[in-house]
Amino acid sequence: MNGWPTGVGRRVFDTIDSTNIYARAIVNDGASPVWIMAHEQTDGVGRRGRAWSTQRGNFAATYLADIKDDLNTVALRSFVAALALYDALIDVGVSADRLSLKWPNDVLLDGGKVAGILLETAGVGPSHICIGIGVNLAHAPEPDKMETTATPAKSLLGDVGLNISAERFLDALAPAYDARETQFRANGFDSTRSDWLAHAARLGETIVARTPKGDTVGTFETLDQTGAVILQTAKGRCAIHAAEIFFT
């Protein structure tokens, strides 16, 4: 990877409640774009409000940036971030054939979750995007602390034997995200979508999309231009815009 991206700030904390909370608190300080990282996170929140605390040795960070697009386009940054994570994991020594991307915002190692992404907006308008990222560098959550239906967790140390510090990973992730963001701005979603699909988990296979209204079972065909997952079901093609994905 190249060096630290020009014009991007860096703030590293020993312990913090949540990097996303901190990011939201500084939206009016003129600090963005900036990476905010903590060696320990005590009160983080994941998707759907789930607890997302971070043990020492793991990676927790938020990228705070000004919003310069409409909100639908901003939401596509989950795919940009997923590709940046994929690139950074390869940069620190993970073999590409062990990695895949799970819609909408997880990175898998040998089929188990090693990293996740949470997008939030902040400020009036809103004015900023907060991209929260967690990576199991040294520790994977214990199975009894996870939902029974959750994708099994993996870690770089436990499953690959790589001992990567959080700051070393940040040094890989920041330029990787900068490169993927540049690609997105230059080419729109098309090239990002194509690259994401090239690494998609279970593409062409049967998956389950679970929403509050129930489960939709179908063959994972592609992503559309909005980032929705397209399933071929018994009732025809179906676009899923928000759901929990489960593998059969």
HSE-up (13 A, CA, CB side) for residue 231: 23
Cα-only R_g, the chain: 17
Domain boundaries, the chain: 9-198, 206-247
Q: Which of 172, 174, 196 is nearest to 184 (CA)?
A: 196
Confidence of residue 83 (pLDDT cuts 50, 70, 90): very high
Q: Which of 71, 75, 56, 77 is nearest to 13 (CA)?
A: 56
pLDDT of res. 51: 53
Q: Give 184-215 pLDDT, tens digit per residue.
A: 999 999 999 999 999 999 999 999 999 999 99
The two structure tokens encoding residue 216 = 């939709």
- Give me the mean pLDDT over the 133-158 stretch: 81
Q: Give 13-59 pLDDT, tens digit per residue.
A: 999 999 999 999 999 999 999 999 999 998 766 554 455 557 899 99
pLDDT of res. 147: 53
Residue 174 clears pLDDT 90, i.e. is over it: yes
pLDDT of res. 47: 52
pLDDT of res. 52: 53
| Residue 152 DSSP code | P
pLDDT of res. 2: 74
Q: Give 211-237 pLDDT, tens digit per residue.
A: 999 999 999 999 999 999 999 999 999
Residue 75 clears pLDDT 70, i.e. is over it: yes
pLDDT of res. 230: 98
Q: Give 46-68 pLDDT, tens digit per residue.
A: 554 455 557 899 999 999 999 99
- DSSP H helical segments within 92-219, as ranges? 156-160, 166-187, 189-198
Secondary structure of residue 145 in the 3-state scheme:
helix
| Residue 26 DSSP code | T
Confidence of residue 144 (pLDDT cuts 50, 70, 90): low
Q: Give 89-103 pLDDT, tens digit per residue.
A: 999 999 999 999 999
Cα distance between residue 74 and residue 67, in whole Å = 7
| Residue 86 DSSP code | H
pLDDT of res. 43: 79
The two structure tokens encoding residue 42 = 């005590």
Domain 206-247 part of CATH 2.30.30: yes
Secondary structure of residue 80 in the 3-state scheme:
helix
Q: Which residue has the tokens 């870690």?
A: 155
Residues 6+ apart with CB under 8 A from 237: 221, 230, 231
Choose which CATH entry (3.40.50.620, 3.30.930.10, 3.60.15.10, 2.60.40.1930) describes domain 9-198: 3.30.930.10
The two structure tokens encoding residue 220 = 């994972």
Summary mean pLDDT of the chain: 93
